[in-house]
Amino acid sequence: GAVVSQHPSRVICKSGTSVKIECRSLDFQATTMFWYRQFPKQSLMLMATSNEGSKATYEQGVEKDKFLINHASLTLSTLTVTSAHPEDSSFYICSASLGDWEQFFGPGTRLTVL
Amino acid sequence: GQNIDQPTEMTATEGAIVQINCTYQTSGFNGLFWYQQHAGEAPTFLSYNVLDGLEEKGRFSSFLSRSKGYSYLLLKELQMKDSASYLCAVRDGDYKLSFGAGTTVTVRA
């Protein structure tokens, strides 16, 4: 149980385009979903916390107008990287939380912006 | 915020034991997690400590001392498949996780 999926697993896009990443909890309803970013050889950095039906809470330094988060249901959250640039190339990982217990991580999305 | 420190790299021999230390300074504490992450993959949960002491789970054990802001992950009977990055993460009062930079463990035959 507690499986989280992400789609796509890899995406390559041109600079200036927008990319949408989906995060789904497959077998449970997640009260909260989290979005992380991980640059090579660095740790996961929390970008934002998302609760169903409410606006996401962004961490300091993360541009909310650039990284749009929509949490439409208890099983789906999307992250849209708008007007992507090469410096946005990274590994994006979502996690879903069941209550106050552990977070279950998705397999990640590798974004490459050319 | 959180300040989490762990060694960058460790190397050990197959069958041996390795201990990965983690120290933290927090503005709120609601548990400490250890995750394993293989290159290009998402982290997978290994252990959780919220009270002081040792939690044992098969070949993996984790220890916590809240007063010292210290934890360690003990990996016994190392196998080649244990070569990975091990992440120490602290959960704050808002249930957010802050991760250390990770310790890359290389297991040699």
Q: How far is CA B66 from CA A37, B30, B42, in A?
A: 28, 10, 27
> Looking at the predicted structure, is the pLDDT value of residue B71 above 80?
yes
Q: Which two tokens stand for residue A21?
A: 């990443």
Local confidence band at B1 (pLDDT 50, 70, 90 cut-offs): low
The residue among A4, A36, A103 with the most chain B CBs within 10 A of its CB, best to mutate, is A103
* Residues A6-16 pLDDT 10s: 999 999 999 99
Name which of A44, A37, A39 is nearest A63 in CA terms: A37
Percent of chain B residues topping a pLDDT of 90: 81
Are A43 and B97 inside 8 Å of each other by CB? no
For B:85-104, CB contacts with A below 8 A are 87, 95-102
pLDDT of residue A53: 80
* Residues A41-60 pLDDT 10s: 888 999 999 988 888 999 99
Name which of A11, A17, A9, A32 is nearest A104 in CA terms: A32
CB < 8 Å to B95, chain A: 32, 97, 100
pLDDT of residue A1: 62
Q: Which residue has the higher pLDDT, A81 or A40?
A: A81
pLDDT of residue B52: 97
| In the block, residue with structure tokens 């927090």 | B26
Are B100 and A43 inside 8 Å of each other by CB? yes
Nearest residue of A to residue B101, measured between CA atoms? A43
Name which of A43, A85, A79 is nearest A64 in CA terms: A79
